[in-house]
Amino acid sequence: MDSRYAVFRVNKKDGSSMEGYLVKRDDRGTTLGFMGGSNQFIQTSEIAPQGFMRGRSFMPKDLIDNYSGEQVSDLLFYIKKLN
């Protein structure tokens, strides 16, 4: 799975956790991104374990199951044109 779509979880020392996609991670902390475009920075001093959630993605499960073959083909054609 492309890491741009993988769910990244930050467990915080206060017992809470946050999930988003990983924007940036460095010595100062971790920045998570969320659907809609917002970001949140979490300082290293607040972070307990963190990492990618295996098998979890922001892409909806079974997204194209009800699409016809033609609809899937059209979608793939459109995506290819974006590159």
State the DSSP string of 46-83: GEEEEEEEEEEESSPTTTTTTS-HHHHHHHHHHHHHH-
User: What would the two tokens of residue 4 be?
Assistant: 């741009």
pLDDT category at 81 given cuts 50, 70, 90 is: confident
pLDDT tens figures, 9-23 = 999 999 999 999 999
pLDDT tens figures, 23-52 = 999 999 999 999 888 999 999 999 999 988
17 vs 9, 47, 78, CA distance in Å? 7, 9, 36
Quote the pTM value. 0.66
Q: Which domains does the chain have, with CATH numbers?
A: 6-82 (2.30.30.100)
Query: What's the confidence (pLDDT) of residue 66?
Result: 87
